[in-house]
Amino acid sequence: MLIRMLALALALASLSLACADAAPPEPPPLEVSVAQVLQRDQPIQLEMVGETRGSADIPIRARVEGVILGMHFTEGRRVEKGDLLYTIEPNPFEAKVVEAKGYRAEARTKLAKAKSDLDRIRPLAEMRAVSQIDLDGANAQYEAALGGIQVADARLVQAEIELGYTLIHAPISGRIGITEAKVGEFVGQSPNPVVLNFVSRTDPIRVRFSIDERRYLQLARRIRELGDDEIRADSGPDLELILADGTVHEHPGRTSAVDAAINPKTGTFTLEADFPNPDGLVLAGQFARVRAAVETRKDALLVPQRAISELQGIFRVYVISEDGNVGLRAVELGPKIDKLQIVEKGLAPGDMIAIEIARLRPKMTVRPKLVRLADDGNVIEEPAPSSDRMEDKEAGGA
């Protein structure tokens, strides 16, 4: 029995030594999502930050002094050209009109007397019954009376104009803002309000934006390609308006005004564009971006931005070979397109790149999981048609 127990112990010890000498099993290769580099003709779009404003923003001013007696609109609502907006106390100006009419009546009386004197003296002077001096004096009085009529008429017109300023009408059709003065407030003289409100025409809505010198050159070259010799109003490509929430305004716009030169202090060139706004969705004063296509890159190569890493200003992507080996390749980048990035140098059509790069290292071996890239750079989590090389490899492995 003792011998059997010793033999069993020796056998167990030998088995333990054999297990200790055996190498542990290798972990399976890391599964990594890979996709083929996208290749397509890619429009390059230029985005510019701007601010919306009315295609016409007209301030409503009190052109005479007085107390507001009436406000005949609803703030923030649409008004039509010619609508009555404010009424200013008219009594002082009505008195001026009456006074001016009195001066005109007096001037007419003086003119009638001067004409009568001239008509009486002229035949007497022809008969030499009065002197030439008397005739010259009568002519002078008549001419002075004519001038007095003109002055009186002008004074009456001026008084009537000022009286008309007590009724303030909408100069254009558009949306009116919040009033700066209420009924009962004295207006028309600082520090009291002079600008009472404004009316903004929002259809079309106008966007003012600026571009730097480099982007100006890109846009100018694009306009020349379209057949225009310079950037001017209503020239260039159609523009897109991107609102503050990221949505694109459904109506494209066109350049409506451009500056004469680049501002040397800021190095920017200012433009304005009009966009149809029939439903009034866009209001003046909103933040917006304007986008324009300035060129098209033929057969451009694009990769997802998350597939790119950077180290000390050098951009790199992980390229997966047909046998799953990982290589690190430096690339030169071009413009961003949604979630994609144009690669100028460093990749070739058909290259397979890693989408998930957090745990990758050069020269390691991985198990590729083929995915498909959508046009906007999002990953579609389903097997994509693989390249011929990978299909051959999978067939050989099978």
Neighbours of 271 (CB within 10 A): 25
| 289-308: pLDDT as tens digits | 998 877 788 888 998 888 89
Q: Tell me the β-bridge partners of 370.
A: 34
Alpha carbon 92 to its chain's center: 47
Segment 61-86 shows an average pLDDT of 93
158: CB partners within 8 A, 6+ apart:
100
Q: Model confidence at 35, in pLDDT bands (50, 70, 90)? A: confident
User: In the chain, pLDDT over 70 holds for what percent of residues?
Assistant: 85
What was the pLDDT predicted at 23? Answer: 53
Average pLDDT over residues 80-93: 94
Report the pLDDT value the prediction gives residue 337, as an integer from 0 to 100: 81
- Residue pair 292/237 in contact by the 8 Å Cβ criterion: yes
Average pLDDT taken over every residue of the chain: 83
Structural contact between residues 36 and 387, judged by C-beta atoms closer than 8 angstroms: yes
Angstrom distance (rounded) from CA 324 to CA 352: 10
Query: What is the pLDDT averaged over residues 120-138?
Result: 83
- Give me the mean pLDDT over the 217-233 stretch: 66
Q: Please, which pLDDT band fits residue 14 given cuts at 50, 70 and 90?
A: low
Instruction: For the chain, list the domains and their CATH numbers.
Output: 30-41+300-397 (2.40.420.20), 46-54+201-297 (2.40.30.170), 65-197 (1.10.287.470)
Instruction: Report residue 262's pLDDT band, with 50, 70 and 90 as the boundaries.
Output: confident
pLDDT value at residue 26: 65
User: In the predicted model, is pLDDT for residue 260 greater than 90?
Assistant: no
**What amino acid is encoded at 38 in this protein?**
L
Residue (of 291, 382, 255) closest to 44 by Cα position: 291
**pLDDT band at 339; cut points 50, 70, 90:** confident
Whole-number percent of the chain with pLDDT over 90: 30
What average pLDDT does the segment 342-371 reach?
Answer: 87
Tokens of 366: 């991985």
pLDDT tens figures, 368-389: 888 888 877 777 765 544 444 4
Q: What is the mean pLDDT of residues 155-174?
A: 94
Q: Is the pLDDT of residue 185 over 90?
A: yes
Contacting residues for 123 by C-beta, under 8 A, at least 6 apart: none
- Compute the distance between CA of residue 138 and CA of residue 111 in angstroms, rounded to an integer: 11
Residue spans of alpha helices (H) in 177-308: 213-225
DSSP state of 96: H
Chain position carrying tokens 């070259």: 221
Q: Among candidates 200, 273, 268, which has minimal Cα distance to 236?
A: 273
Among 25-29, 209-213, 384-388, 391-395, which range has the highest average pLDDT? 209-213
Q: Are 305 and 377 in contact (CB under 8 A)?
A: yes
Band (pLDDT 50/70/90 cuts) for residue 394 is very low
Grade residue 206 by pLDDT with cuts at 50, 70 and 90. Answer: very high
Kindly report which listed range (103-107, 134-138, 250-254) carries the lowest average pLDDT score.
Answer: 134-138
Name the pTM for this structure: 0.62
Mean pLDDT of 218-241: 68
* The two three-digit tokens of residue 362, written as one number: 């050069």
How many whole angstroms separate alpha carbon 385 and alpha carbon 369? 11
Residue 97 has pLDDT above 90, yes or no: yes
The b/e string for 121-148 (b: 16+ C-beta within 10 A; e otherwise) is: beeebeeeebeeeebeebeebbeebeeb
Residue 53 has pLDDT above 50, yes or no: yes
* Sequence letter at residue 287: F
Exposed/middle/buried for residue 181 (C-beta within 10 Å: 0-12, 13-18, 19+): buried
Which of 27-41, 155-169, 270-284, 315-329 holds the top average pLDDT? 155-169
